[in-house]
Amino acid sequence: MEGTDVTTHPALDDEQQQLDRSFALLGDGAPDLPPLFGRIDDAGGSRYVGRTDVRDESGDAVVVAWHAPEAGAFYQACATEPAGVMLKRVVTVSGRQVIAVHDEIADGAAGDVSSARDQRPVVGKVVVAALEQFRTGALADATATLRPEQYDAIRRPARGVLVIQGGPGTGKTITALHRAAWLAANDDAVRAGGLLVVAPTPTLRNYVADVLPRLGAEAVTTDIGALYDGPATVRGRDTRPEAARVKGSAVMAMVLRRLVEATDGPATPEDLLRGLYADPALLERLADDLLKAGQRDVLYREPAPSAADEPWTVDDLVLLDELAHLLGRATPRFGHAVVDEAQNLSPMQARAIARRCRDVTLAGDLECSTGPGKHDEWSELTGYFGSEWGEATLSLGYRVPRPVVELSRRQLPDGGPLELARSLRDGLGLPLVRRVDPGDEAAVALSAGEAAAGTGFKVGVVVAPARYDETLRYCQSAGVKVGDGRDGDLAQPVTLLPADLANGLEFDAIALVEPAEIGDGTELGRRLLYVAMTRCTQSLAIFHSAPLPAGMEHLERPASPQEPEVEHRPRPARSEDLYDLFKLLRDDDRMLVEVLIRRLLRDSLERED
């Protein structure tokens, strides 16, 4: 703690008084959340920043809302560029008590900041402290610690398209949501038209539903399939990626238009689409010049007994939505739309969103595409929306430890087009690799996961989609308690996840089972592996029996014929001996010891505080 004991900071009493006063002014209407989290002193005077305005009896601001122009300096100034700010203070509150203050800028210069060792970027210690908290499964609250590059993206004008891109864990989701709330507070047209947020997984949608109200905004939050408000709902999944690719391709708009034009009398979107899938001759007549024979073939399916029994997929629902529009059904309109994991949008999905709103924020990373098609450029998507588009690139990594960032980028062609995000995290060091007997990969990974979870870690055990059912059955029969990640159950200490549903999630530790099955040599496989590896905040462990895939082969070690006997070593006296002993531990035990040491250190530091 380098001598700065934040809990006895002389400013604590002042800030406590300010907090008490704010609570008193809010009276019974005071929210559970603290009314202030920051303070800024500059030529304009001294101001407190919080979630909403707090005014005194005469109407003067006691706390300014984070989205007010007066709060701007709090986000634009940072330790490396104080820009005339004398004091930038983050105030940490628990209940109604100020428990810590961190001055990122003090007396007009860098104050309470992390060191720049190991190329770690210079940021306020409070950011590092926030990141060190153990994951709760939900993403952490970042309003008090938004960085200047994030704040800049948040305030770009609402019109047209803004792409917020950046490597894994650079805060694209957080930034896009703050942008939504900022626009709702500052742009009359957005406020009047309302916000639409499209997010692919239940976890992300729950997160949005939790965060936006705290930022003072409301939105309609949905996944892409649920945009369609007809009777059909998602009941199936295209097992062939080619089928999903064709359904999502832009030519389907023309095929459906011709279908509607060729239809006499009233028809529902459901009847039209299942009729089209079941009639190769009709499809050939309508799409001979638009789809190749092989592409038409993948669309074929026997009709179910009724429309309600059809195994509708997400991409089917998007086509139903287009048909509903062509049949003249009204589509609700919004003032601004935010799309998370936007790299996975198909052209038809982009059209469905654009029908509702042409001014959009697309948050995503093209290298994390895990849909059936990958866009090489954002312009392939932005053209479906408003005519103007711009991009904001986030460069500071908040989630992924540096060694994991470096390893994961070997999965990208040429290390990826974006500059390496500078990571704020050291994590628990180099990824661990453990070679196990064939057939034991998942069992060993799960038991290492349980051990890490026993120390307070949230753990994700990631398997190839084809291995998921078998692994879940193993867990049930062997009594291993895991959350079923495919159902969005992230409440357990250990979650089992198929690699294709890892997008957007975050865990303390990731245990990767047989990466060669996930990576499978295809471009999509490599991206799935990349996404899976970059979900961890602390440690990555790899369990395999097959040879490691490209990008990891340098980690390959021969299987050790015999486990080393640790117990019979003489009691170590010197730290070098301890280190030798540590090196003898198996990889998963080593992970456990590292976690324990870390916990002990944290507990002792907290006690000192």
Residues within the interface to ligand ATP (CB under 6 A): 127, 130, 139-140, 142, 145-147, 150, 166, 168-174, 365, 398-399, 504, 506, 534
Let me know: does 423 contact 402? Beta carbons within 8 Å. yes
Instruction: Between 123 and 283, name the residue whose CB sits nearer to ligand ATP.
Output: 123
**Beta carbon of residue 428, minimum distance to ligand ATP (angstroms, whole number):** 17
* Minimum CB–partner distance for residue 426 and ligand ATP (Å): 15
Report the nearest approach of ligand ATP to the CB of residue 142 (Å): 4
Do the beta carbons of residue 515 and residue 547 sit within 8 Å? no
Based on CB atoms, which residue is closest to ligand ATP, 399 or 434? 399
Decide if 346 contacts 315 (C-beta within 8 A).
Answer: yes
Q: What gap in Å lies between CA 134 and CA 268, rounded to an integer?
A: 50
- In the complex with ligand ATP, which residue's Cβ is closer, 100 or 174? 174
User: What is the enclosing helix (H) or strand (E) of 461?
Assistant: strand 459-463
Q: Is 173 annotated as a binding residue?
A: yes
| One-letter amino acid for residue 367 of the chain | E
CB of 505 to ligand ATP, least distance (A): 7
- In the complex, the smallest distance separating the C-beta of residue 169 from ligand ATP, rounded to whole angstroms, is 4
Q: From the centroid of its chain, how far is CA 330?
A: 33
- CB of 123: closest distance to ligand ATP in angstroms? 9
- CA-closest candidate to residue 385, choices 607, 561, 196: 196
Q: Which is nearer to ligand ATP, 252 or 368 (CB)?
A: 368
Neighbour tally for 209: CB within 10 Å: 14
Q: What is the DSSP string of 53-110?
A: -EE-TTS-EEEEETTSGGGHHHHH-BTTB-TT-SEEEEEEEETTEEEEEEEEEETTEE
Distance between CA atoms of residues 420 and 423, nearest Å: 9
Sort residue 59 into left (φ over 0), alpha (ψ -120 to 50) or beta. Answer: left
Minimum CB separation of residue 94 from ligand ATP in Å reads 17
Taking phi over 0 as left and psi of -120 to 50 as alpha, with beta for the rest, 33 belongs to: beta
- The answer to the question of whether 169 is labelled as a binding residue is yes
Question: 3-state class of 45 per DSSP?
Answer: strand
Nearer to ligand ATP, 142 or 528 (CB): 142
CB of 485 to ligand ATP, least distance (A): 15
DSSP 3-state of 248: helix
Residue recorded with tokens 């462990």: 541
The smaller minimum CB distance to ligand ATP, of residues 168 and 371, is found at: 168
Angle ∠(385,388,390) on CA atoms, nearest 5? 100
Q: Let me know: does 378 contact 181? Beta carbons within 8 Å.
A: no
Nearer to ligand ATP, 62 or 418 (CB): 418
Nearer to ligand ATP, 72 or 280 (CB): 72
Per-residue b or e along 394-415, where b marks 16 or more CB atoms closer than 10 Å to that residue's CB: bebbbbbbbbbbebbbbbbeee
Q: How far is the CB of 146 from ligand ATP (least distance, A)?
A: 5
Q: What would you measure as the largest C-alpha separation in the chain, in angstroms?
A: 89
Distances (CA, A) of 557 to 430, 439, 561, 566: 15, 18, 12, 20
**Nearest-approach distance from CB 504 to ligand ATP, in angstroms:** 4
On whether 172 is known to bind a ligand per the annotation, the reply is yes
Q: What separation, in Å, do the N-terminal and C-terminal C-alpha atoms of the chain show? A: 9
SS in 3 state form for 563-586? CCCCCCCCCCCCHHHHHHHHHHCC
Apex 110 CA angle, 107 and 111, nearest 5:
75
What are the tokens at 373? 């098609």
Backbone angles phi, psi at 47, to 5 degrees: -135, 150
CA 415 to chain CA mean position, Å = 21
Residues 6 or more apart whose Cβ sits within 8 Å of residue 569: 581, 584
Q: How far is the CB of 531 from ligand ATP (least distance, A)?
A: 8
Amino acid at 279: D
Minimum CB separation of residue 36 from ligand ATP in Å reads 17
Contacts of 315 (CB under 8 A, 6+ apart): 238, 243, 244, 247, 248, 346, 348, 349
Report the residue number, 139 or 153, with the smaller CB distance to ligand ATP.
Answer: 139
The nearer residue to ligand ATP, 140 or 307, going by C-beta atoms, is: 140
Of 154 and 273, which CB lies nearer to ligand ATP in the complex structure?
A: 154
Residue 18 or 370 having the CB closest to ligand ATP: 370
Helix (H) or strand (E) holding 51: none
**Minimum gap (Å) between residue 596 Cβ and ligand ATP:** 24
Take residue 384 and report the two structure tokens written for it.
């479906």
CA distance 126 to 145: 8
Sequence ranges of the binding site = 166-173
Sequence ranges of the binding site for ATP = 166-173
